[in-house]
A and B are shown apart, each in its own frame.
Chain A
């Protein structure tokens, strides 16, 4: 029932983007993929989606994701890309209905079951007041919910999110991740998401996979993966970890002293509550 990758490698244009990446996550868990820019986070998600050719083993619910058909894969996993293309004039209802595509035969028409799944997804994301509105007229937060509703109506046990918080303000970041967490619990979804923000990764993910130049630098519980030394080594960033009840509650970058003429200030004291 788990999602597992074993020595997964991806080579694009002669360059090795992923090198023998192994990971495993239990059903209902949230796996966060972290790492600096260019570490291979998005490529790993694209390998799961079958959008790039990968070698090694990749299984979900005991199915080999390398040989699975396009439609079967779409029934197993729903994906929310970093910047989804939103057809401006399409209505919310029509957009959410697109999530049912893998369940409708090639030249077929949506059934009652497809319509109820669509309706249910729109209820779950509180979109029922906006059914007939074109996507371009929605606010940023409403668009996010419409995108999630489309993924939810797909009714797949695995949800992939590529940097779901990019370009969102702090309030929207919180609400999007909160919604994903709620949907995950309600529907027992396995979630895999790449994340830039280490604090959010620590707060929401059950398990983290830290990538560095295409290889696994660390993986496991957030407390094990998020270490000041490894973050310094891999990201080249000086951070301070905030802990709460033995768990990482925040990853705070320290202000760098850029001018050698300046005196070294004492780091601000941060105390965990």
Chain B
């Protein structure tokens, strides 16, 4: 053949076309069918081996709805966030995962056009009745982009602890708390000799772990992770996943991810969001292995999204 081949045929993309999924062969009931549907996932190594430990409810949303300028982004979502478990929020882009996450610490309040219905409870208390500062100290958040503040490593972690006002704790008084937070985030070994270096000189993965340490420093009950690994390399991703595993017994963790494999690796419980609806919510094994809803089955088998 010569160097020039005939170009491949143009494949038209039809917007709003129903995803076509090859129906898995039904031989031995649903589990078998689901297994072949998500076989790639189920053969992936899991990090959450074995015991789940004691599970305790920390947060609950009840018919939570969020709308931006009247346009609903999250519709009547009811779910629980448990300590001892990792809750994975999966679903295509723009389907309300991040909005749901941001409403848990009332960060959606920052958006002027956002409105919220339904209720969110933390330890059986309505978050609207709590002082927003208090709520956000109990519900930490880590963002997609590593975003340490332009100050030293130490000051980044101490930032959350330092109270506003006249009585500012000294550096020495803060040191144990800062080191503990860095240790929990698995960063202490790497930075203990240069705590006063600018945080922005750390690598991306270290910066993200610093952001986690920053959130852990205020001892939150719930930690929200908004695609924490999407800007990181595989090794840093792996480190952060290990970290999530080690933290889940003490803290309730909610992680938004576009990466189904990641959700499968780390999540104990999975909520699948589609166009603002909570389509499926259940045990990770069940959602990935034997999804009830057709949409979920299509999504976890890679049919769309």
A binds B: no
- Interface residues of chain B, those whose CB is within 8 Å of chain A, are none
- Interface residues of chain A, those whose CB is within 8 Å of chain B, are none
